[in-house]
Amino acid sequence: MPRKPRISPIGIPQHIIQRGNNRQACFTSEQDFIAYSGWLKEYSQKFGVGIHAWVFMTNHVHLLCTPHHIYL
């Protein structure tokens, strides 16, 4: 059974955590961090999400984001 869609109210900051599968490493080199940050910038602009803060760890990422639009 699929998960129900998450509520993402416009203008309300959210703390998002993304982890590797079974907490495995997401990043194994500096190039991985650089690529992820580039994608984060590109897609946050494309989908209207403000990124206020981030922490990139080897096996997970913390983001403080605010959606500016609703995408269904």
pLDDT by residue (tens digit) across 10-31? Answer: 999 999 999 988 889 999 999 9
Contact 17, 62 (CB under 8 A): yes
How many Å apart are CA 23 and CA 40, to the nearest integer?
20
Total-model pTM: 0.82
Contact 59, 23 (CB under 8 A): yes
- Flag whether pLDDT at 72 surpasses 90: no
- Number of Cβ within 10 Å of residue 72's Cβ equals 3
